[in-house]
Amino acid sequence: MKYDTIIIGAGLSGLAAGIRLAYYDQNVLILEKHTTIGGLNSFYRLRGRNYDVGLHAITNYAAPGTRTGPLAKLLKQLRLRWEDFNLTPQKGSAVVFPEHRLQFTNDFQVLQQEIAEQFPDQIDGFNKLTFEIEQFDDTNLNQPYRSAREIVQRYITNSTLEDMLFCPLMFYGSPTPHDMDFCQFVIMFKSIFLQGFARPAEGIRLILKNLVRKFKSLGGELKLRGGVAEILQKDGKAYGVRLEDGTEFECDVLLSSAGSLETYRLTQAEELTRPEPEPGALSFIESIYALDKMPTDLGIDETIIFYNNAPRFNYAPCEEPADLSSGIICSPNNFEYDNPELVKEGAVLRATVIANPAYWMNLSEEAYRAAKEEWFPRILDKVSEKVAPFREHIVDTDMFTPKTIWRFTGHANGAVYGAPVKHRDGQTHLDNLYLCGTDQGFLGIIGSMLSGISIANLYVLSRM
């Protein structure tokens, strides 16, 4: 069987790419290794409750009718309506450090005001930094690497404020420790501080469901349990795939959202002939606490809290199984929903901390269970220091580790934001094989869909 385009991975980027191509009458097949769609952003049901895999908030919020920006661009490109995502803005979030607490909402002036009050000698620099960020063209696929720390330090001379700005941006998108590529920093700054957080009451499943419905209505084919064993190639050109069950499919173009290293390995089924791309190393442990009361009824009003207890914020893989010095606490209930009862996850808090991937990946089944038993309460203790008491109201829990992420997505180390080196132009060592998704380098939910769209436009549609 031959397709115009085959896409590896039915996550947000693969589905978005698939919609673009199927809309223009391409014969498209999306192959998903797992039994369900979504990749790094999927959803599941456990003991009668619905959960999103990792969704805290969707960044890049724009109000209905907004004509510019990533969300507007995305909806136009996919011919979707604003209601298809049903995004509800956040209530308000905070970056909490030992001596300072900066609140921010989707109104950028709130953050400016907070900085002006708490760091009065830094506000001019912050406004100049914001201006540089607004002028920067982050959609250009050929921006060279520049250290975000170096650029930010030109404007912000207080290291606490510097860390407080980096903290949410790194936690929500940095594949690299300590520092970020300035382009990635700009993408994250715009998407979190300038545009802001939102979420559909139904969670990620609403977006995934609408993407799949659109893709199938355009004639696209989706194959679950369709893990790729090998990318077929001849004379430096990819021409198809062989699945784990032995089936072969041919295609003119192959798009892969599997990751740069993971895709590379699929092209080298027998022996490795060149150095492998470096895998990502940043992964997380997420604890989920289902509650018998809404967080606001317990006095927890923030949408998301990014906290750090250390003298400097240390965003890096840790030696310990988990890094308890910093983390994220999110309540999916704390968005401006018309009816909070519609939140599919129910009353819930989610807590995220940096994890040591090698530790979790290498444990035996039994030791793994024991390690979860040990770390779950330790993380809960830390989280409890940051918000009003909620422990008595926990009615069910779940926890995932780098190993869980690896098992469900195939991403090496369970790396949530992919490899440290991004391939913004999507090119690989083979012709007709292009990367989309996390390792192409657009970030977040909206970014990952734009990644699929951009690569489909660039290498398929504009060449038709």
Partner 1 sequence: MTSEQIRQVIIDILERIAPDEDLTNLDDSVAFREQMELDSMDFLDIVMELRKQYRVQIPEEDYGNLVTMDSTVSYLEPRLKDVESAV
Q: Which is nearer to partner 1, 328 or 450 (CB)?
A: 450
Which of 10, 218, 453, 455 touches partner 1 (CB under 8 A)?
Answer: 453
* Coil vs helix vs strand at 463: helix
Closest among 288, 290, 298 to 329, alpha carbons compared: 288
**Phi/psi at 45 (5° precision):** -125, 135
Q: Does 35 bind partner 1 (CB under 8 A)?
A: no
Q: Which stretch binds partner 1 (CB under 8 A): 33-41, 62-70, 114-122, 171-179?
A: 62-70
* Residue type, position 310, single letter: A
Are 171 and 95 in contact, with CB atoms under 8 Å apart? no
**x/- map, 259-278, partner 1, by CB under 8 A:** --------------------
**Phi/psi at 342 (5° precision):** -75, -10
Structure tokens that stand for 81 in this block: 């309506």
Pairing of strands 101-104, 198-199: unpaired
Q: Does 312 bind partner 1 (CB under 8 A)?
A: no
Nearest approach, Cβ of residue 462 and partner 1 (Å): 6
Q: Which is nearer to partner 1, 66 or 247 (CB)?
A: 66
Q: What is the DSSP string of 405-416?
A: HHHHH--GGG-T
3-state DSSP of 66-106: CCCCHHHHHHHHHCCCHHHCCCEEECCEEEECCCCEEEECC
Structure tokens that stand for 47 in this block: 């003991």
Closest among 72, 68, 71, 74 to 20, alpha carbons compared: 74
Nearest approach, Cβ of residue 461 and partner 1 (Å): 6
Nearest approach, Cβ of residue 214 and partner 1 (Å): 14
Nearest approach, Cβ of residue 337 and partner 1 (Å): 24
Q: Which is nearer to partner 1, 72 or 224 (CB)?
A: 72
Q: Does 372 bind partner 1 (CB under 8 A)?
A: no
**Total chain residues near partner 1 (CB under 8 A):** 17
Which of 45, 67, 234, 274 touches partner 1 (CB under 8 A)?
Answer: 67
Measured distance CA(426)–CA(446) in Å, rounded: 17
Q: Which is nearer to partner 1, 134 or 320 (CB)?
A: 134
Q: Which residues ranging from 68 to 107 are in contact with partner 1 (CB under 8 A)? A: 68, 72-73, 76-77, 79, 81
Are 418 and 243 in contact, with CB atoms under 8 Å apart? no
Measured distance CA(375)–CA(378) in Å, rounded: 5
Nearest approach, Cβ of residue 75 and partner 1 (Å): 9
Q: Does 339 bind partner 1 (CB under 8 A)?
A: no
Which of 116, 243, 380, 461 touches partner 1 (CB under 8 A)?
Answer: 461
Which of 65, 120, 144, 246 touches partner 1 (CB under 8 A)?
Answer: 65
Measured distance CA(63)–CA(75) in Å, rounded: 13
Nearest approach, Cβ of residue 426 and partner 1 (Å): 15
Are 43 and 205 in contact, with CB atoms under 8 Å apart? yes
Closest among 423, 12, 460, 20 to 254, alpha carbons compared: 460
Nearest approach, Cβ of residue 72 and partner 1 (Å): 8
**Phi/psi at 189 (5° precision):** -60, -45
**x/- map, 402-441, partner 1, by CB under 8 A:** ----------------------------------------
Q: Name the residues that contact partner 1, by CB under 8 A.
A: 24-25, 65, 67-68, 72-73, 76-77, 79, 81, 453-454, 457, 461-462, 464
